[in-house]
Amino acid sequence: MIVLHARPSPGFREAVDAIFGPGVVTHVDEAAPLDDVAGEISALLHVLTPVTADFIASAPNLKLIQKLGIGVNTIALDAAREHDVAVCNMPGTNSQAVAEMALSLMIAVLRRTCFFDARTRAGEGWTADPSELDLVGEIKGRTVGLVGFGHSAQRLAPVLEALGARVVYTARSEKPVTYEHWPLDRLIAQSDIVSLHMPLTDDTRASIDPFAMKKGAVLVNCARGELIDEGRLGEALTSGHLRGAGLDVFAEEPLPRGNLLLGLPNVVLAPHIAWLTPETLVRSLTVAHENCRRLAAGEALLHRAV
């Protein structure tokens, strides 16, 4: 049995049936446990709901956990190894969508799109305090620091450069590109916009300190919420240390009611959908289908992480 553990849109369901065949994949809502299918499941198509060690131990026929995306931090990898369950991801399939989302968040924060949208809908767009316009800005002339230089950052960098930004990056090793490679501390301290494109690991958790950023800078995060100390981020945004932030990911998801970030006018928020476009889904499901075929045929799997 192949199980998709998610809350798919109608278009997502249609794509699953088109690629795998009608009825081949069993859908289990992301809010529901997998207990009822644990004994039958052979391949799990995983989106965001954590795959725990207890579940892996309870699924004797499970052979593949296929991440529809890149990050495998929501999977109990040690338990997968212990029970000889393969874990695969799919680098590159969502890079276009994430790059576009990061760019849109940068522009939305700099141009205060959500702020002026709300004012215009309320009939106040033309009568707002003129000083509000002093808080907008352009990408051109700003230094944009990309933390991590994987597929999404590589797609984003030339677009930013074409818009007139100075692009710098940090990564574990220098890449054969024309952009400057800076150490993380320098990039954080000197960039006007910091955009996160790195995985969540023990080393990267809470590694981005908002108060180490340049005063008046913008933070964009389409990677993982735990990369930042959200408490300090809230303080940096309310104190005026940061100009604003564009956030698609959070330490706790869904974002709890009452979270400080929800009430800040200099923050643009999205519910972890940077990766999620119909085009990404088709690319992702095509890889997942191929790995399920390979699993059944006893062939080597694509992009195996465990």
- Residues known to be catalytic: 224, 253, 272
261, 247 in Cβ contact below 8 A?
yes
Distances from the Cα of 156 to the Cαs of 106, 109, 161, 282, 293, in angstroms?
Answer: 11, 17, 9, 21, 33
Unique residue bearing structure tokens 């564009």: 246
**In 3D, which of 222, 228, 238 has the Cα closest to residue 108?**
222
| Pairing verdict, β 242-247 and 217-221 | parallel
Please work out, in degrees rounded to the nearest 5, the angle formed at the alpha carbon of residue 255 by the alpha carbons of 145 and 282. 70
Residue type, 284: S
Length of the chain: 306
The structure tokens listed for 227 are: 């990369």
